[in-house]
Structure 1
Amino acid sequence: MTALLRYQTDLLLRSQRWLAPLLLYAVFLGVGVRAGEPVLGALGYASAALLPVTAWVVRICLNQEPPAARTVVAAAAGRERAHLAAVLAAVACAALLGTVAVLGVTAVSDLRGVGPVAAGAAGLLAATVCVLIGAAVGALCTRPLLPAPGWSLAALVLASLLALVTSGSPAKYAVTALITGSRTATVHLPWLACAGALAVSAAAVALACRATAWRE
């Protein structure tokens, strides 16, 4: 699996397809986060923006190989393992981006009675939730379940939006906890949302990996 992860990560970095979601995320932060704003609200915005970006990166990783190369890798390592490696490589890259964003936002925002360690921990947990839900969205909204590029992209955008606004969504719960805490200067660590996001992501990725074994 380590070799597959390195292979998928190297493909992503060399293709420079990561540049578009990175720039999108930078635009989100540049428009929505200002120095001196309440830290928890800023972290909530940064975490929410990470969800569609993660879904996009997962979609990129799952479609970046040429068909011939995909067939060779699948023959050598198995379709399910190859598919899982692509998702994990995307999640690792998105998690790194989220960590850097949380640390940066915490450094430039107004703590307003909130400890930097507590704020950073809450931000990292919320970012983790959004990365996991974004991975689930990305895995379900592309090959092999939705191979058509147009429908795949439309479903990804819609599912990302619904994941952020639907009641009961772990991502909405985590982001709302930060925004609510910003008004009262109270830190809520979204452990329950993190556990729920992990379960949802694991189920979605397992379904996508299983589907690739009998649909491709």
Structure 2
Amino acid sequence: MTALLRYHSALFLRSQRWLAPLLLYAALVAVGVRPGDPVPGSLGIAAAGLVPVSAWTVRIFLTQEPAAARAVVAAAAGRSRAHLAALLAGAGWAVLAGAAAACAVTATGGLAGTSGPAALLAGLLATTACALTGGAVGTLAARPFVRAPGWSVAALLLGSLAALVTTGSPAKHAVTALVADGGGARPPWAACAAALLLAAVTATASRRAGARLE
């Protein structure tokens, strides 16, 4: 599995497909967060912005291989393992970007009403929950479920929006939980656990569908 993760990550980095989602996320954080702003709200913005970026990143990982290369990797490592590695690598890069943003926001924001370690913990959990929720959206908006690029992008955008506004969504719950009574940052443990479960369910469904349809 380690070799597969390195393979997918190398494709991602060498193709420079990482530039677009990374620049989008950097722009969202730069526009929405100012140094000195209350940390909980800033962390919420950083976490919410990660949902479409994570969905986009996971979709890139699932579609970046040429068909011939995908067939070779599937024959060598197994189609299910190769598919899972692409999902894990995509979600992992999104979580890494969210963690970096959470550290930067905590270091530059106003900590009135909370402490730095508590705010950072809450931010890391929220960005993880949003990254996994976005990753689930990207999984459902890519092959083998949606093959046409236009429909895939439309599903990704609509799914990301739904993940941010739908009651019961782990991403919405994580962002909401960041601002507790009195302005403190409340760690969204439940949202993170729910996002992990959602990601696991969608990954399993995607792997099984890929085994039947590809």
Partner of 1:207: 205
- Compute the displacement of 1:20 (Å): 0.1
Counterpart CA distance in 1 for 2:150 and 2:138 is 14
- Compute the displacement of 1:93 (Å): 0.9
| Partner secondary structure for residue 37 of structure 1 | coil
Counterpart CA distance in 2 for 1:50 and 1:196 is 17
Counterpart CA distance in 2 for 1:186 and 1:4 is 41
**Contact 2:38–2:112 (CA<8 Å) still a contact in 1?**
yes
2:193 to 189, 192, 195: 195
Counterpart CA distance in 2 for 1:75 and 1:130 is 33
Alignment of 1:115-194 (within 5 A): 115-178=115-178, 180-181=179-180, 184-194=182-192
1:16-41 deviation line (CA, Å, top 9, x unaligned): 00000000001101110001100000
1:97 aligns with 2:97: yes
Partner of 1:16: 16
The letter for the 2-side match of 1:129 is A
1:30-64 deviation line (CA, Å, top 9, x unaligned): 11000110000000000000111011000001111
TM-score in terms of structure 1 length: 0.97
The letter for the 1-side match of 2:192 is C
Counterpart CA distance in 2 for 1:170 and 1:204 is 14
Counterpart CA distance in 1 for 2:170 and 2:31 is 25
The letter for the 2-side match of 1:21 is P
Counterpart CA distance in 2 for 1:32 and 1:156 is 22
- Compute the displacement of 1:103 (Å): 0.2
87-96 or 38-47, which deviates more: 87-96
| Partner secondary structure for residue 90 of structure 1 | helix
1:63-111 deviation line (CA, Å, top 9, x unaligned): 1111100010011111111111011111111111111100001011011
Counterpart CA distance in 2 for 1:93 and 1:188 is 25
Counterpart CA distance in 2 for 1:206 and 1:110 is 41
**Contact 2:130–2:171 (CA<8 Å) still a contact in 1?**
yes
TM-score in terms of structure 2 length: 0.98
Partner of 2:111: 111
Cα-Cα RMSD: 0.9
| Partner secondary structure for residue 111 of structure 1 | coil
Partner of 2:58: 58
Partner of 2:28: 28
> Gaps (5+ residues) in structure 2?
none
Give aligned pairs, total: 214
Counterpart CA distance in 2 for 1:185 and 1:31 is 22
Partner of 1:43: 43
Counterpart CA distance in 2 for 1:80 and 1:199 is 19
